[in-house]
């Protein structure tokens, strides 16, 4: 039996990878283990030299790890494009978020809101600044700790309005997904795989990456609220 391939990923692709790895293991007889943590923590662990075979993070984080020599140059493989959605607690009134103006009003009206520490959260902060409301809502923002789904805070009633990758919201109990951000302000993150510099089974890793971008992987990507990259 070959030794397992080790993947580290951010939380956004956790359920997708669980689905895809199961498919891959069935057809290849190659065991794979996946550890999904906050993206910031994942990148730190790879930077610190922890041994993995594959790293799956936002594409800019993969590029930084390539620059640092922790992911092999030329190995970046774009997997999915992931958009941000808005959630409320199950049964709560759903605000109108159908346009940029409506979304801005929903944010201003919300008693509390939360977003992730990942790339989508950074982009949201810039959006609130561009709207000129960052100061106004500062005290109402509940920052989800790395690795804690924003949706879980919404489900518990700790937060009224939650912003996170749709892929991280659609499998959670206790929330209603209001919908995606309007097109004019939608935040798309591309998640990519890279071969870690510590990888010891290059052939098996390449087979895994080929599978992750194959037509066989598309249904799972769409089922997890993402688009093939």
State pLDDT tens for residues 178-226.
Answer: 999 999 999 999 999 999 999 999 899 999 999 999 999 999 999 999 9
Compute the distance between CA of residue 110 and CA of residue 103 in angstroms, rounded to an integer: 11
For residue 117, pLDDT over 80 is answered with: no
Dihedral of the CA atoms 131, 135, 139, 145 (nearest 10)? 70
pLDDT at res. 6: 98
Compute the distance between CA of residue 40 and CA of residue 227 in angstroms, rounded to an integer: 23
Q: Tens digits of per-residue pLDDT, 131-145?
A: 999 999 999 999 888
pLDDT at res. 119: 78
Is residue 20 within 8 A of residue 220, CB to CB? The reply is: yes
* Banded model confidence at residue 103, pLDDT cuts 50, 70, 90: very high
DSSP designation for 30: -
Is residue 147 within 8 A of residue 132, CB to CB? The reply is: no
Compute the distance between CA of residue 5 and CA of residue 202 in angstroms, rounded to an integer: 10
* Banded model confidence at residue 171, pLDDT cuts 50, 70, 90: confident
Compute the distance between CA of residue 155 and CA of residue 169 in angstroms, rounded to an integer: 11
Helix (H) or strand (E) holding 32: strand 32-37
Compute the distance between CA of residue 138 and CA of residue 114 in angstroms, rounded to an integer: 11
**pTM assigned to the model:** 0.88
Angle between helices 100-109 and 119-131 (to 10 degrees): 90
Structure tokens at 178: 């209001």
Compute the distance between CA of residue 196 and CA of residue 49 in angstroms, rounded to an integer: 10
Helix (H) or strand (E) holding 46: helix 39-47
Q: How many CA atoms lie within 13 A of 30 on its CB side?
A: 20
Residues in the chain: 229
Q: Tens digits of per-residue pLDDT, 22-77?
A: 999 999 999 999 999 988 899 999 999 999 999 999 999 999 999 999 999 999 99
Percent with pLDDT over 70 in the chain: 100
Compute the distance between CA of residue 228 and CA of residue 82 in angstroms, rounded to an integer: 9
């Amino acid at each position: 039996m070959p030794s397992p391939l080790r993947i580290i990923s951010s939380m956004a692709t956790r359920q997708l990878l669980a689905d895809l790895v199961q498919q891959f293991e069935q057809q290849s007889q190659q065991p794979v283990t996946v550890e999904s943590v906050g993206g910031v923590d994942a990148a730190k662990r790879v930077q610190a030299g922890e041994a993995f075979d594959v790293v799956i993070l936002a594409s800019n984080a993969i590029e930084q790890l390539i620059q640092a020599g922790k992911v092999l140059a030329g190995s970046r493989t774009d997997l999915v494009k992931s958009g941000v959605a808005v959630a409320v607690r199950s049964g709560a009134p759903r605000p109108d978020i159908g346009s940029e103006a409506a979304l801005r009003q929903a944010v201003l009206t919300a008693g509390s809101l939360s977003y992730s520490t990942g790339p989508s959260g950074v982009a949201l902060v810039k959006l609130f600044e561009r709207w000129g409301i960052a100061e106004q809502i500062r005290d109402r923002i509940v920052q989800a700790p790395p690795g804690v789904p924003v949706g879980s805070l919404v489900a518990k009633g700790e937060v009224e309005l939650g912003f996170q990758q749709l892929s991280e919201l659609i499998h959670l109990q206790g929330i209603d997904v209001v919908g995606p951000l309007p097109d004019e302000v939608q935040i798309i993150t591309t998640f990519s795989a890279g071969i870690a510099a510590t990888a010891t089974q290059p052939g098996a890793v390449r087979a895994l990456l080929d599978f992750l971008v194959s037509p066989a992987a598309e249904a799972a990507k769409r089922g997890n609220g993402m688009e093939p990259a």
